[in-house]
Structure 1
Amino acid sequence: MAKAVKMADIAKVMGVSTVTVSKALSNQKGVSEELRARIKSKAEEMGYKTASALYRERARMNVSYTFGVIVSDRFLDKYESFYWRMYQEVATAAVQKGCFTMLEVLQAEDEETLVMPKLLHEKKAEGLVIIGRLRQEYLDRLMEQVDIPIIFLDFADRNGTYDAVISNSYFGMYVMTNYLFDMGHKDIGFVGSVFVTDSITDRYFGYVKSLCEHGMEVNKEWVLDDRNPQTGRSDVGFEWKLPAKMPTAFVCNNDVAAAMLVNKLEQEGYRVPQDISVAGYDNYQPPGLCDVRVTTYEVDMQEMAKRTIKNMIRKISGEPYKQGVTIVNGRIIYKDSVRKIL
């Protein structure tokens, strides 16, 4: 049996990258029409089977797809179960479409030494979902080697080149901070290690936008880390540091940070929300982490997962789908951690 032609084989013959071949064959932006035509011609000449052709063959045989899912263990520390929940939603959405998922947790050492996922070597997946941003050097190397459809979930590449599904972190945090102003607060702090993840960065700038529109400046003493900026972990090598002068409210980049902050404030003798209000983000508060139900901005994980699987199937089959970055909105969930002040 002849060996199946891969995108990497075409790329080698054409003297271009696998990413360029992928864009050309899937009609994505970033490739000139002249080069696209030459790549498609060479692919046909070499006997490359397009994703749509493979899909039709599998449909006739009633065979389902298997999607690989990769997440870094940096996002799966003691309390960071948000991405476990995200994966569960992806797996559920896949099953509902007659497909299956295989999860690989990328170890920190492998990410640092650029060891590629086993899912790629074993070639058991027809599509790949990456949950949470990987280190840039690793991501660049991975994209050079991937010859199957790929979608980023909960982050996007800096140039918007690849397909991604994200929550509207910037607008969501803008709305959440506006809510605190509406509740009478003016001195508002932000909790989150700002440049550790894309979502924290986006949420920080949503917070800044709200402050600017209310004529307030950012007080750097009120911008608190919620994890070790070097490792990205909140369970190892991290200690909370509160400012000498406290704001009347904090808005946090996620509910785990909010719950941990509530505990720290209570240890220091503050009451939530009587003395200090705390707002979270995600609407995923691990049970038993704190004794206050945190008001939060809900990330619609179910919708994000559904759109990811829908786009992946259409991407593989060659059907039309929304290319680029898909943004999913959320909503405020009112609970017990914010009080109105005069």
Structure 2
Amino acid sequence: MAKTVKMADIAKEVGVSVVTVSKALTGQKGVSEAMRSRIIKLADEMGYVQPAAASKSEDKGRNIGIIIHDKHFTKYNSFYMQMYQLLSSELGSQGDFAMLEIITHDMEKDLIAPKVIKENKVQALILQGEFSKEYCDFIKEIMGDLPVLYLDFADESGRDVSVISDSFYGSYYMTNYLFEHGHRDIAFVGSPLITTSITDRYLGYVKSMMEHGVQVRPDWQIEDRNKTTGIIFEPDKLPLPLELPTAFVCNCDLTAGVLIRRLEKEGYSIPEDFSVVGYDNYIYPGACDVEITTYEVDMPVMVQNAVGYLNALLKGESVKTGMHIVTGHLVEKSSVKALG
């Protein structure tokens, strides 16, 4: 059987990211016409088949609800909007309709159902980004037998389908990277237990520290967001310890950018004075003046997998419940300085 050509194969041949290939093949902005033509031509030559073209389902034109918490739409945080755009494009390419609804903090706290569910407008629902366990249980109850899928966070019960990135090992690799560059005084910037992904990234950091025989210092676990709202602090609100480490592992690039701006306000330079690594490989243009070394989330593959599992659920097919983990990779930029 011939090997199925994936976007990653095309990206490797061209020497660009999977996100660039996805944008080129789905007609999105952010790719030059010359690069778009090159990618489309190579995709044809390699025999790449878009998921929509490969699908034989006649059940098209379905309404797929997508709910996202409004805490993910703060000033510089558009990671989830990019993910939603990919998701909407993937669903649209197979003839389905994405119906987005933003869930407020009060809606989540008071267990208020999204309008797309109350008005019976959707055949399935994707929860994109973290929600409380109580709200997830509430959503599943009112959805009844209709499919529910979690994207970029995990269903705690393991009874539903979740598509997540490799947060634990991604953060573990990033911390190891700092050790490889001579650092031993390393802090973690993030609020564990606020989301499962931040908790996993903190535990990946702890694993690396333990394996290198370095004690994890409580004052070097730096909170990066409001514990009630989940909104990331502005630079002047981000707490810094009295004694600073030489390097910081941040739970996401947005937090890394906030940290860098805070340190710069204190008169420091990155990476001359401190090294910083992040997670996601996505930050709003202009949010930070330093290119952040990071762990790139394979967003297109996460979206493709989520849509594939959702299609199977809608057809009544069996899908393995629990977490479906999509690995990423380290991207070296200019925020880390080797010591000694």
TM-score by length of 2: 0.80
User: Any stretches of 5+ residues in structure 1 without a counterpart?
Assistant: 1-55
Following superposition, the deviation at residue 133 of structure 1 comes to 2.0
Q: Distance in 2 between matches of 1:103 and 1:235?
A: 26
Of 262, 269, 278, which aligns to 2:260? 262
User: Any stretches of 5+ residues in structure 2 without a counterpart?
Assistant: 1-55
- SS across alignment from 1:102: strand
Q: Distance in 2 between matches of 1:97 and 1:334?
A: 36
Q: Distance in 2 between matches of 1:235 and 1:94?
A: 34
1:33: which partner in 2?
none
RMSD of aligned alpha carbons = 1.9
- SS across alignment from 1:275: coil
1:339: which partner in 2?
337
Alpha-carbon distance change, 327 to 235 in structure 1, aligned in 2, over 3 angstroms:
same
Of 81, 85, 102, which aligns to 1:84? 81
1:112-134 Cα shifts (integer Å, max 9, x gaps): 11111111111121110001221
Q: Given that residues 133 and 156 in structure 2 are in contact (C-alpha distance below 8 angstroms), is that contact kept between their aligned partners in structure 1?
A: no
1:133-185 Cα shifts (integer Å, max 9, x gaps): 21222222221111210100111122211111011100110011001101111
Following superposition, the deviation at residue 237 of structure 1 comes to 11
**Residue type of the alignment partner of 1:220:** P
Of 152, 155, 161, which aligns to 1:154? 152
1:50: which partner in 2?
none
Alpha-carbon distance change, 133 to 311 in structure 1, aligned in 2, over 3 angstroms:
same
**Residue type of the alignment partner of 1:252:** C
Q: Distance in 1 between matches of 2:121 and 2:246?
A: 53
Matched, 1:93 2:80: no
| Aligned pairs for 1:311-322 within 5 A | 311-322=309-320
- SS across alignment from 1:109: helix
Q: Highest Rg: 1 or 2?
A: 1
- SS across alignment from 1:94: helix
1:253-277 Cα shifts (integer Å, max 9, x gaps): 0001001111111111111001100
Deviates more, 1:174-183 or 1:69-78: 69-78
Matched, 1:232 2:230: yes
**Residue type of the alignment partner of 2:315:** S
2:125: which partner in 1?
128
**Residue type of the alignment partner of 1:255:** D
- SS across alignment from 2:237: coil
Alpha-carbon distance change, 269 to 198 in structure 1, aligned in 2, over 3 angstroms:
same
2:301: which partner in 1?
303
| Aligned pairs for 1:141-290 within 5 A | 141-147=138-144, 148-234=146-232, 239-290=237-288
Of 127, 135, 138, which aligns to 2:135? 138
Task: Give the aligned length.
Answer: 285
**Residue type of the alignment partner of 1:186:** R
Following superposition, the deviation at residue 245 of structure 1 comes to 1.1
Q: Given that residues 228 and 238 in structure 1 are in contact (C-alpha distance below 8 angstroms), is that contact kept between their aligned partners in structure 2?
A: no
- SS across alignment from 1:184: coil
Q: Given that residues 227 and 238 in structure 1 are in contact (C-alpha distance below 8 angstroms), is that contact kept between their aligned partners in structure 2?
A: no
Q: Distance in 2 between matches of 1:74 and 1:293?
A: 25
Q: Which consecutive aligned stretches of 4+ in structure 1 deviate over 3 angstroms post-superposition?
A: 235-238, 319-323
Q: Given that residues 77 and 235 in structure 1 are in contact (C-alpha distance below 8 angstroms), is that contact kept between their aligned partners in structure 2?
A: no
1:114: which partner in 2?
111
2:24: which partner in 1?
none
Following superposition, the deviation at residue 235 of structure 1 comes to 5.1
1:71: which partner in 2?
68
Q: Distance in 1 between matches of 2:317 and 2:267?
A: 58
- SS across alignment from 1:181: helix
Q: Given that residues 169 and 199 in structure 1 are in contact (C-alpha distance below 8 angstroms), is that contact kept between their aligned partners in structure 2?
A: yes
Q: Distance in 2 between matches of 1:235 and 1:252?
A: 13
Following superposition, the deviation at residue 238 of structure 1 comes to 7.8
Q: Distance in 2 between matches of 1:168 and 1:284?
A: 16
Q: Distance in 2 between matches of 1:324 and 1:255?
A: 27
